[in-house]
Amino acid sequence: MSPLALLTRPRLDSENLALLLRARGVASLIEPVIEIVPLAGARLPGLDRMQALLLTSANGVRALAGLLGPPPAGRHMALLAVGAASAEAARREGFENVQSAGGDVAALAALARARLDPKQGPLLHVAASTVAGDLAAALERDGFDVRRECIYQALPSTALSPAAGAALAAGKIDMVLFFSPRSARAFVKLARAAAVDSVLAQVTAICLSAQVAQQAGEVTWRRIRTAPEPEQAALLDEVAREVDVAEHGR
């Protein structure tokens, strides 16, 4: 029987992830613990004044594309994405000049310093109503003018779905994948509310970064695996290692 992973990302991200896992022999149960909702009345400043766009999530890319309208509107601008998944989402949305950083805010700031010039105009950070890390502060120290525009919000789920709760309680879930501290924190809260947190001692948490693992570690797991780099590919490598241990004991 294929190992079963519980996917906690927003639904569209989880559906894409499930395809990648299926190719690796891992089945998925999608359980978004956060819902992405556009902010009512969100508007973008004049993009002609901006030197480049800074995107810290694929959700931000999709929200931005929704405000811009169909391509090619606004798709010619330089877009610096936090990591490979966000960069791929930007290219799917028709952005033509996309560069990818190393997967976290510090790497995105470093990429902006290397590729952009503070004298060439402000940078627009398209973000959620709550952000992880202070990208603006990191770049303003180097003379950049960073404008943050909140165009969507991430709302935590109020309860685990009956399917996810039942699968956890029955011991059917082998691993839970976490891509952000917020989603790990939300899942822990939901698992406690559903009284299935004790079951997690037989489940492996697979986390995108040490910050994510810290939030997941508020409950007891069989083990916590942390990707060595905050990139989806590195997390999928940890999934493969977990499958190898489960199948061969190494």
> Could you read off the pLDDT of 208-238 as tens digits, one per residue?
999 999 999 999 999 999 999 999 999 999 9
The two three-digit tokens of residue 152, written as one number:
């969507």
Instruction: Taking each helix axis as running N to C, give the angle between helix 58-68 and helix 84-92, from 0 to 180 degrees, rounded to the nearest 10.
Output: 20
Per-residue model confidence as pLDDT tens digits over 97-141: 999 998 889 999 999 999 999 999 999 999 887 665 689 999 999
Structure tokens at 143: 């003379």
| pLDDT value at residue 133 | 60
- In the chain, CATH 3.40.50.10090 covers 4-33+157-248, 36-155
Enter the tokens of residue 116. Answer: 């952009």
> What integer pLDDT is reported at residue 247 of this predicted model?
83
Rg (CA), the chain: 19
Q: At what angle do helices 232-248 and 84-92 cross, to 10 degrees?
A: 120
* pLDDT score of 134: 84
Q: CATH assignment of 4-33+157-248?
A: 3.40.50.10090
The residue ranges of DSSP E strands in the chain, in sequence order, are 4-7, 27-30, 34-38, 52-55, 78-81, 97-100, 123-128, 146-156, 175-178, 204-207, 223-226
- Fill in the amino acid letter for 198: S
Residue 244's pLDDT is what?
93
pLDDT of residue 131: 62
Helix H or strand E segment including 229? none
Q: Who has greater pLDDT, 37 or 172?
A: 172
C-alpha distance from residue 71 to each of 42, 58, 186 (Å): 19, 17, 35
39 to each of 127, 130, 186, how far by Cα in Å? 11, 12, 21
pLDDT of residue 250: 56
Q: Hey, what CATH class is 36-155 in?
A: alpha beta
Average pLDDT over residues 151-155: 91
Neighbours of 13 (CB within 10 A): 23
* % of the chain exceeding 70 in pLDDT: 98
Alpha carbons 203 and 240: distance in angstroms, whole number: 15
**What's the token pair of residue 22?**
């299926």
Asked whether residue 185 carries a pLDDT value surpassing 80, the answer given is yes
pTM of the model: 0.89
**By CB neighbour count within 10 A (0-12 exposed, 13-18 middle, 19+ buried), where does 95 fall?**
buried
Model confidence over 48-102: pLDDT tens digits? 999 999 999 999 999 999 999 999 999 999 999 999 989 999 999 999 999 999 8
